[in-house]
Structure 1
Amino acid sequence: MQGLPEINARYWLLLLIASVCGTNLGDLASDKLGLGFLGAFAIFSVIFLSMAVASRRIAFLGEAYYWVAIVVSRAGATDVADFATHQLRLSYPALIIGSLAVLVATLAITGRLGQNTIRTVDAADGPAMAFPTANAAYWTAMILANAFGTIAGDYLADELRFGVGQAMLLTAPAAAVAVMLRVAGQSSSKFGYWAVVLLIRAVATNLGDYLADGLGLGFSVSCGAAFLLLALLILALLTSAWPRMRAAEAR
């Protein structure tokens, strides 16, 4: 996939927006549109796989294509995670530990096979630039992280009875600190990247639910998801040239 975004402060802001949008989009499909968890998951899976197959043919869409894939993968993961917790009634702690263990194992195994999830590019002047690889290992890890975020966010809000507002306030400071450390270069490993992703996913789960339910906007969840997706694409398109300009200046 061409035109992948540089992992910087802008990237993390867009990831949060995409995560909230994906959360609400998943809930919209399963609940408001009456597709059910598995029905919505199946549709998002088909869309995501179609995008993966077509990625090289429509590479001119660049970074916007990446962000749409992030939204779709988050929506599908939200529905399959909700199916496991709400319909199958599986244990939240077991699912949290299990998804985290599978994520770590995926990163370790694919890393040994040469399928890295982060690509680093040295700059002639300034710190090295990091980019997501968007390969099979990357998207597998991202889907697992998406599911983890949904399960962890719902566990805090529902199972532990903090509510979506307090659960968001519990996770947001940790996510903010993790982002600042990452941007400042204090956490540059691939596991550091995925730790930030996990935290942002958990925050976005509760933020999306708060916008839909806590503010009484449940009836407008479709409009909210559409607005967030539009804002995400505009931000991505307007600022997609920044990393390339920086790389050109470094050369």
Structure 2
Amino acid sequence: MLAACQPGGTATADPTAAATAAGGGTSAECGGSADTPDGALKVVTGPIGCPGGANTFWSQKLGSGWTVPRFLEYHDGEIPQDECGAQSRDPDDFASNAFYCSLDDTVAYSAEFMAELSKQDTAYPMLVLMHELGHRASALTNRVGVVSRSEENQADCLAGAEAKFTQDAGRLPLGDVGKGALLFFSLGDDGGNWFASEANTQEGAHGNPTQRTAAFSTGYFRGLDHCFDIGKSADGGLSLIDSLFG
């Protein structure tokens, strides 16, 4: 889950309206605010040059080393048609999930998983996919976390940095940032959700609820470099205090 696959009111200005002039996509390609399902998805999938877009963020940070990845939607009960899907014959391995497949540079996600997240908050699918783009950035820069938990917390942190970029561009309401922190709390190991039975030190661990919240907050408040420091941690651990003052 959320892991890299390894071998009516006053009119407001559209923040994406200038994308074409800036060399990015059209307003339709870029989408609008992340408070709509379409806008939230296009924050992540829109072309480089879209204001506040995740691909614009990473292009600014990594230059030509970043291109728009392939995004692949599949349905629960199906095996995604990518190289990671080719490694398994069990559709249950991919149900209610999203992941970055480094084997063929694909970000894949279950339509049902995204729909369920969107019911909770329209920005949630966007934040989950930002996490997956964090895995991609780690892979492209050869800065994958030294253990599973540090890699996952690093990706949470990178999602926070992406979210700050989107919020600064006026595409992510501030209230959704706070909800984003709650999302990562709910996804933590032993958090009573998807990872309820996973011990924090277990191979494949993602970090406990406070660690994942701290990681996302670190990226939002402190930026990219601090995220890659998380990846160097032998245990992947960090605290909420670390996220603000560490």
The TM-score with structure 1 as length reference comes to 0.25
Between Structure 1 and Structure 2, which shows a larger proportion of helix residues?
Answer: 1
Relative contact order, higher structure (CA 8 A, sep 6+): 1
